[in-house]
Structure 1
Amino acid sequence: MARFQIPYLVAKPNANGTARHYWQPDKLKIRAIATAGFSVAQVLAEAGLAERRLQDDFNDAARQAEQLNAIANGFIAGTVKPSLSAAMAQQPDAQQLAPLIRRPDLVASVIANYKSSRHFTKLAASTKRDYTNHLAKIEAVYGDMSAKKIGSLMIEEYYEALLDTGHIHYANARMRIFSIVFTHAERIEIRGKHTNPCNNMGLTGTTPRVRFWSEQETASIIAAADRAGLPSIGDAVITALYTTQRQGDVLTVPRMAYTTSHLRFTQSKTKAVVRIPVANLQQISDRLPAALARAQILAPDAPQLIICETTKAGWSKDHFRHVFSEIRAQAAKSCPSLLGDEGAGLPSALFMDLRDTAITRLALAECTLDEICSWSGHSRAGVTDVLKHYIDLSAGFADKAGEKLATYLQREAPEAIGGKA
């Protein structure tokens, strides 16, 4: 969507390379118009328009946008009085602001259909919020275009514009969500099968985050949390480190999921059932009974195993993230690596890194891929994706490989060991 020097004049691309022009005031401008006692519909009606779409010719659209800006500014300043009453302007306002559901092939219609489908409603709440944000941005640009007519060239141009902002991760996420829209268009037979223009477009690669927590860092965080009177932070760290789960699942583990031998619950994102044999793991088996006892005292009726000491309720994600950062800062006084070392290329330790650390520890313990998948509830592809980034990071993999190679050579080719040139 192109914007010009004329305020609120925007252009949305057509499939044939032309553009549609709109007068699109932002929320602050709309609020200012409303505060003055008027509506966008009255501004449009005063200019003889029934909707925000302007002339196709740019010069004509520019003149219309300037006229609309002058009327809006006059309404706000009190120097222009509307010639039409608010009631007379309501019909065009209704036409303009009505949802874009006139045709089922419009991108806005496909998005609405997707958001009401099981493919969207089954998602976790946090995923829905993220998707909804991207879908709104997509609809703002392509909502009134036919999903049938959007091709690879238009998608490539949109992606290039997103990359120009410098936020590669965000641009890639937007295109992945757009791809979901086109996949849904295929599913409801708006587009033909295998015509998704986002497929195989070659998204710009980004350097994956690789951060392995050391045992010292884990111990330092837990000790700092206990000293601060917030042992639930330490409980969450231990739970994440041994269950390989994301923050959202860790904070919502139900206390009924814990027995003296296992921690059993269902992942919110994949619905996979996770069953961790905690009885054999002293660090977590020593921690969880105390966590359960504290939870029952702080919030007897709450379902969560991990309860915030200050609110006496389950942790919200944002609150936990904020307090965790404070505890990490305290722990860093004795363990500086927690805050990272920019010169050494070491990022700060984040709670989300515990998931990858946990999976890597299982691999270092010589668990098979299937065993790690069974333990974590993640797919083989997901576990492999984690491990391929951490194999080079941990010297333990190379050490174990060396031990195995030495054993093999001792058995199969002893002459290869200690031979002289």
Structure 2
Amino acid sequence: MVRVNLQGINCRRKKLATGETVEYWYAWKGGPRLRGQPGSPEFVASYAEAHASRKKPQAGVMHSLLRQYQDSADFAKLAPRTRSDYIGQIKAIEKKFGDFPLSALVDKRTRGIFMQWRDKQAATSLRQADYAWTVLARVLSWALDRRLIDANPCARGGRLYRGNRAENIWTDDDETAFLKSAPSHLHLPLMLALWTGQRQGDLLRLTWTAYDGERIKLKQSKTGARVNIPVGAPLKVMLDATPRLSTQVLVNSDGRPWTEGGFRASFRKAQAAAGITDLTFNDLRGTAVTRLALAEATEAQIATITGHSLRDVRSILDAHYLHRDPALATAGIRKLERRTKTPDRAPD
């Protein structure tokens, strides 16, 4: 093997049906797959071919701007999953607007051209249309801040998709049904999400060193927020009883760390087997906020645990969850009853 330092290569691991994990290497993120094994002459040759054929973007067009953004510190700061999702959207933008002149961004008609593109995508998926628009708007905002362009026609574009997950809360019955039906290695992910309110990706990356027997400390990959969460008794019992088969807390049935795709597939399958529909693992984060509020935790206490901003906590409670939960209304009336002096019975 030849030892060569190749810049920017990207490795992706995939678990085969046989249980074997294989590695695939690419010339760069989103680039062509490389031949041979790392370090081999074939590998180095395919790397050279990929970069030789890579088109150098023409200056002054959208393609060059998109490439600059992907090479920026702002893009590098995004979470790995977010970067991967952005690359998919950027490819679509390049395909449609790669040769669009940056000088035309100041033309008032450009916003309409971009909106027509979004509307066409919306015929297939409102959410994906919104996501593509968000990525394009973010790239243009980044460029505008650096005086690389003179206008951002995608600013304040609004949203087409108005999803309402008000009903999408895991109930106690849902939790019981899942724990009764799902395989044991999926119990801990559910409990961690319900008792910490953290995102799926952060929980899958959680290591045993983050748990000291009383608290869980982690830095959220999406926002960079640091949380220091007291571990509730039911979660502590489960954590302390879990064998430490890996540096990661959450492992699959083989005792290996989960891939995000593998976890999503396994969790969905377990939900279906438990008869739980119209819910996702992501809904557990909002459910945790709701349960904390029903337990009379303050907004500040909730934000400290979940890592949300106070504004986001208030938004979740106000717009999506608590106004639909009768338990909150019942708790409020009981408080009022305890505070109010019972009037004497009126005479017959």
| Coarse TM-score class (shorter-chain normalised) | 0.7 to 0.9
- In the alignment, which residue of structure 2 is the partner of 1:141? 96
Letter in 1 for 2:165: R
Number of residue-to-residue matches in the alignment: 289
Q: Does 1:382 align with 2:312?
A: yes
Q: Please name the residue that 1:202 is paired with.
A: 158
Greater CA radius of gyration, 1 or 2? Answer: 1
1:100–1:238 distance in 2 versus 1, CA, 3 Å: same
Q: Residue 139 of structure 2 is aligned with which of 181, 192, 197?
A: 181
Between the aligned partners of 1:113 and 1:172, the Cα distance in structure 2 is: 23
- Where does 1:21-420 land on structure 2 (aligned, <5 Å)? 99=55, 101-103=57-59, 105-150=60-105, 151-163=110-122, 165-192=123-150, 195-210=151-166, 211-225=168-182, 230-278=183-231, 281-291=232-242, 294-295=243-244, 299=245, 302-310=246-254, 312-332=255-275, 338-339=276-277, 347=278, 349-387=279-317, 388-406=319-337, 410=340
Cα deviation code 1:111-140 (max 9, x no counterpart): 111111111111111101110000110111
2 CA distance for matches of 1:379 and 1:401? 25
Change beyond 3 A, Cα 1:122–1:419: farther
- 1:98 is displaced (CA, Å) by 5.7
Aligned-partner Cα distance in 2 for 1:361–1:247:
18
Alignment CA distance shift 1:313-1:173 (3 Å): same
Is there any run of 5+ residues in structure 1 with no aligned partner, and where? Answer: 1-96, 333-337, 340-346
Structure 1 SS opposite 2:75:
helix
Q: 1:419 to 1:304 in 2, by over 3 A?
A: farther
Cα shift at 1:201:
2.6
The CA deviation string for residues 67-114 of structure 1, in whole angstroms up to 9 with x for no partner, is xxxxxxxxxxxxxxxxxxxxxxxxxxxxxx7635221x3211111111
Per-residue CA deviation, residues 340-366 of structure 1 (Å, 9 max, x unaligned), is xxxxxxx2x322211110011111112
SS at match of 1:276: strand
What amino acid sits opposite 2:170 in the alignment?
W
Structure 1 residues 285-333: Cα deviation after superposition (integer angstroms, max 9, x where no partner): 1100112xx12xxx3xx320122222x210111212222233223333x
Structure 2: state its 5+ residue gaps.
1-52
| Structure 2 CA distance for partners of 1:186 and 1:224, relative to 1, 3 Å | same
The one-letter code of the counterpart of 2:181 is A
Letter in 1 for 2:136: F
Q: What is the identity percentage for the equivalent residue pairs of Structure 1 and Structure 2?
A: 27
Question: How far did 1:239 drift?
Answer: 0.4
Across the aligned residues of Structure 1 and Structure 2, the Cα RMSD in angstroms comes to 2.3
1:406, distance to aligned residue in structure 2 (A): 4.5
Say which structure, 1 or 2, has more relative contact order (CA 8 Å, 6+ apart).
Answer: 2
TM-score (norm. length: structure 1): 0.64
Q: Which runs of 4+ in 1 moved over 3 A?
A: 403-408, 417-420
User: Structure 1 residues 324, 160: closer, same or farther in 2, change over 3 A?
Assistant: closer
Cα contact 1:245–1:376 (8 A) shared by 2: yes
